[in-house]
Chain A
């Protein structure tokens, strides 16, 4: 059953609810409702619904429930999804798709850099992500820095510029976090630290500078004469200190994880721990700190010293310790088309199926402050979902369609989409430029 906005028996009541939801939307452009009927629906907000109905108007979900309790409104477009499984659109809390490039080699701390200035909306990776059922990404700069820049929360909408993919906060500002890293990747010598001790010292120094900057700004109380010289990096870190911007922290080894928790407590910033190869060793400490974890699942241990104890069981161990767990692709480290597999391997090693599906969806949304918009199938949220032909955690299951904000963005029956799903000649070439005016004949023009 749906806990939020419950839909209770009685057709008139349902109609009233649907209508009231409709009335919340801009009326003149309202498209007719679309009802997906007959599917097994995992709302991630309660147990799976057999023979469920999902009703979408425009970009929003307006109703979801068992067919017996959820009637499609008159005039609705009916899509038969019987035998299919509908899950919320997958949320990748840590992706490098789109040619992400943040901080450069000039130094280890660059909070001024915005990864969104580097993203190519035509990158075929975004199309492959859609083929994997993904609808929302946290695109991040890399981990070769202590602080490599501002991340971008993106919806996989059709896009001509990156602005088309931004998720905006209530003030209309693009949402994102701050990427940080510790451990060996940023220990590069030269301008970069050579030890873990120096890594932490440099971060402390930077956060103290940000605290001082924030104090000066506060003391100026809007008086331009008293304002410090603008520093866009310290401004962004100010958003970290105020809690507006979440730190997404690459960290593998158990002691590195504890260092992140120590710094987070010291400077009172919100943090999501990413990768966490050895989190299974310090699960209770992570739980006590209340820090959420975004877990990477890798097919074998090692490849780097701090990942020699990476294990499929991390998700389950953290789940049992009471930690909020998400997964991520780290694409290109793992393939967005196989994101469901990451959670399935965690199930293989002891995580609950419910927890694993939540970890691919709502938990990720929570780690990006997006839980009121996406991550579960409840009325009022964005219509972000994927339609599968079977059990989400079976290797034999295929993703048939991916919908983002009420628009079908991936359709396995479409040959071009299928190319992105399966690979093949040209699948990784850059997406064709966006043609508005020249007709189809101009696509892929030949000499």
Chain B
């Protein structure tokens, strides 16, 4: 974040007077995600970045560092697709629900940055369970509901908290995208036709733009600019598709227009393993505990394990909920996948380094390595176990949560009195 860091820490200092810029985290087990787990290790964070990591007896903790202790330390969790901060916890249509603009079915110009409330209670909720980075934005309802962005779960401004202000264009191939009145799309075929038309329009816009002289540019069109970013490969199109037939449609569209495709939801991905793998498309999988209904009626607790076995890159997301729970927590969702065939290591990878790679932010987050952001989650036991607790969350060296929000059990981390 460079310049942004000062602002971040300044704002956090108001909220958490004890949050220093220099933090040392000691863990009985540190899952670095960049090698085997480190036992009795220390992570030093200086000026927001990981400065040193190694065994406790080899890393000198400088004076003035706040020291945090935990049984288990992991990278801050990365939620690859959420609506948190855009869909608020009050769930009042005219109050805090910014995730669904229904005035037209195709609005790729809607920026997530303009819709995001970094002080939303649910942002801090997921943060208090160890989630430090989310890709969030418009919900998978309309055919092209808008843009997504990638943000740290800190209560500053959307601009300061952003990792990528524009990270993807979202699209929806499911019954959710059907409009109830006589407007389009009303069928799956119409959805595909409209997506093709918009992409072709963007291709033509780009040709005109590229051929034009400086003083002769075509009139700016924000929607087409966003679609051009997809066609140019600057951002992926993340297509929500649950049924196998919709997954096939998304793959078809990806072949026709040769853009970076990420499949989202993908309940029936287990029926399409060869096709998905052949296309080299990663998956942002539905939350494990998503309700089995509608387009997602055939989902399975074991899909994550099947994707892992097939060698398809995937992450597990919190997704979108219209009622309760208003947000899911990827820590819990990965836990269910871990216990249904995926196993601990792959489950942890899916919500850390693999998520970061799918989002293209692995240079910043997702593993604990020197030079990466100082984003850590601290637990008092196996993070996935029902009865363990997140005891602290660190983002860029600031302690942004000292225990699970609103809960009484567990021992939140505090300044180590001995030092």
Listed in ascending order, the chain A residues whose CB lies under 8 Å from chain B are: 298-305, 307-309, 311-313, 316-317, 332-333, 335, 338, 341, 344-345, 347-350, 393-398, 422-429
Q: Which residue of B lies closest to A296 (CB)?
A: B324
The CA-CA distance from A300 to B340 in the complex, in Å, is 23
Whether the pair B325, A299 counts as a contact (CB closer than 8 A) is yes
Given A332-B291, A426-B298, the answer on whether A300 and B407 have CB atoms closer than 8 Å is no
Say which residue of A303, A395, A426 sits within 8 Å of B338 (CB atoms): A395
Q: Which residue of B lies closest to A311 (CB)?
A: B406
Whether the pair B324, A348 counts as a contact (CB closer than 8 A) is no
Let me know if B216 is at the binding interface, CB within 8 A. Answer: no
Residues in chain B near residue A303, CB distance under 8 A: 89, 91, 321, 323-326
Minimum CB–CB distance for B292 against chain A, Å: 5
Whether the pair B293, A395 counts as a contact (CB closer than 8 A) is no
Whether the pair B387, A300 counts as a contact (CB closer than 8 A) is no
Whether the pair B332, A394 counts as a contact (CB closer than 8 A) is no
Whether the pair B407, A311 counts as a contact (CB closer than 8 A) is yes
Residues in chain B near residue A426, CB distance under 8 A: 298
Let me know if B284 is at the binding interface, CB within 8 A. Answer: no
Residues in chain B near residue A350, CB distance under 8 A: 407-409
Minimum CB–CB distance for A82 against chain B, Å: 22
Whether the pair A300, B89 counts as a contact (CB closer than 8 A) is yes
Listed in ascending order, the chain B residues whose CB lies under 8 Å from chain A are: 88-92, 121-122, 125-126, 268, 270-271, 289, 291-293, 297-302, 321, 323-329, 332, 335-336, 338-340, 384-389, 404, 406-410
Minimum CB–CB distance for A190 against chain B, Å: 19
The CA-CA distance from A313 to B387 in the complex, in Å, is 12
Minimum CB–CB distance for A31 against chain B, Å: 35
The CA-CA distance from A427 to B303 in the complex, in Å, is 14
The CA-CA distance from A303 to B92 in the complex, in Å, is 9
Residues in chain A near residue B389, CB distance under 8 A: 348
Residues in chain A near residue B386, CB distance under 8 A: 341, 344-345, 347-348, 393-395
Whether the pair B324, A423 counts as a contact (CB closer than 8 A) is no
Given A424-B270, A427-B300, the answer on whether A349 and B408 have CB atoms closer than 8 Å is yes
Whether the pair A313, B408 counts as a contact (CB closer than 8 A) is yes
Q: Which residue of A lies closest to B327 (CB)?
A: A300
Whether the pair B293, A332 counts as a contact (CB closer than 8 A) is yes
Residues in chain A near residue B126, CB distance under 8 A: 300
Given A316-B408, A395-B339, the answer on whether A302 and B121 have CB atoms closer than 8 Å is yes
The CA-CA distance from A427 to B302 in the complex, in Å, is 13
**What are 8 sample pairs from A and B whose C-beta atoms fall under 8 A apart?**
A305-B90, A309-B406, A316-B409, A335-B291, A347-B387, A395-B386, A423-B298, A423-B299
Q: Which residue of A lies closest to B322 (CB)?
A: A303
Given A332-B291, A423-B301, the answer on whether A395 and B326 have CB atoms closer than 8 Å is no
Whether the pair A302, B408 counts as a contact (CB closer than 8 A) is no
Residues in chain A near residue B335, CB distance under 8 A: 395
Residues in chain B near residue A347, CB distance under 8 A: 386-387
Of the listed residues B268, B301, B384, B389, the one surrounded by the most CB atoms of chain A closer than 10 A to its CB is B301
The CA-CA distance from A389 to B339 in the complex, in Å, is 13
Whether the pair A300, B125 counts as a contact (CB closer than 8 A) is yes
Minimum CB–CB distance for A123 against chain B, Å: 12
Minimum CB–CB distance for A441 against chain B, Å: 25
Whether the pair B298, A427 counts as a contact (CB closer than 8 A) is yes
The CA-CA distance from A398 to B341 in the complex, in Å, is 11
Residues in chain B near residue A335, CB distance under 8 A: 289, 291
Whether the pair B409, A348 counts as a contact (CB closer than 8 A) is yes
Residues in chain B near residue A398, CB distance under 8 A: 339
Minimum CB–CB distance for A346 against chain B, Å: 10
Of the listed residues A332, A348, A394, A429, the one surrounded by the most CB atoms of chain B closer than 10 A to its CB is A348
Residues in chain B near residue A344, CB distance under 8 A: 386-387
Say which residue of A299, A317, A393 sits within 8 Å of B332 (CB atoms): A299
Say which residue of B268, B300, B328, B407 sits within 8 Å of A349 (CB atoms): B407
Residues in chain A near residue B332, CB distance under 8 A: 299
Residues in chain B near residue A345, CB distance under 8 A: 386
The CA-CA distance from A311 to B407 in the complex, in Å, is 7
Q: Which residue of A lies closest to B299 (CB)?
A: A423
Closest 6 CB pairs of A and B: A302-B89, A303-B324, A344-B386, A423-B300, A303-B326, A299-B325
Whether the pair A301, B297 counts as a contact (CB closer than 8 A) is no
Whether the pair A424, B293 counts as a contact (CB closer than 8 A) is no
Whether the pair B326, A312 counts as a contact (CB closer than 8 A) is no
Whether the pair A425, B89 counts as a contact (CB closer than 8 A) is no
Whether the pair A333, B90 counts as a contact (CB closer than 8 A) is no
The CA-CA distance from A423 to B305 in the complex, in Å, is 13
The CA-CA distance from A393 to B388 in the complex, in Å, is 11
Minimum CB–CB distance for A334 against chain B, Å: 8
Whether the pair B298, A300 counts as a contact (CB closer than 8 A) is no
Residues in chain B near residue A425, CB distance under 8 A: 268, 271, 298
The CA-CA distance from A43 to B221 in the complex, in Å, is 69
Whether the pair A300, B326 counts as a contact (CB closer than 8 A) is yes
Residues in chain B near residue A422, CB distance under 8 A: 300-302, 340
Residues in chain B near residue A424, CB distance under 8 A: 270, 298, 300, 302
Minimum CB–CB distance for B20 against chain A, Å: 29
Residues in chain A near residue B324, CB distance under 8 A: 298, 300, 302-304, 307, 333
Whether the pair A312, B407 counts as a contact (CB closer than 8 A) is yes
Whether the pair B292, A301 counts as a contact (CB closer than 8 A) is no
Residues in chain A near residue B270, CB distance under 8 A: 424
Q: Which residue of A lies closest to B95 (CB)?
A: A305
Minimum CB–CB distance for A310 against chain B, Å: 8
Whether the pair B302, A396 counts as a contact (CB closer than 8 A) is no
Residues in chain B near residue A302, CB distance under 8 A: 88-91, 121-122, 324, 326
The CA-CA distance from A202 to B90 in the complex, in Å, is 28
Residues in chain A near residue B326, CB distance under 8 A: 300-303
The CA-CA distance from A423 to B122 in the complex, in Å, is 29
Residues in chain B near residue A298, CB distance under 8 A: 324-325
Residues in chain B near residue A311, CB distance under 8 A: 406-407
Residues in chain A near residue B388, CB distance under 8 A: 348
Whether the pair B409, A349 counts as a contact (CB closer than 8 A) is yes
Whether the pair B300, A396 counts as a contact (CB closer than 8 A) is no
Whether the pair A300, B328 counts as a contact (CB closer than 8 A) is yes
Residues in chain A near residue B410, CB distance under 8 A: 348
The CA-CA distance from A382 to B49 in the complex, in Å, is 61
Q: Which residue of B lies closest to A317 (CB)?
A: B408
Given A300-B122, A303-B324, the answer on whether A348 and B387 have CB atoms closer than 8 Å is yes
Q: Which residue of B lies closest to A353 (CB)?
A: B387
Q: Which residue of A lies closest to B341 (CB)?
A: A422
Residues in chain B near residue A428, CB distance under 8 A: 292-293, 297-298
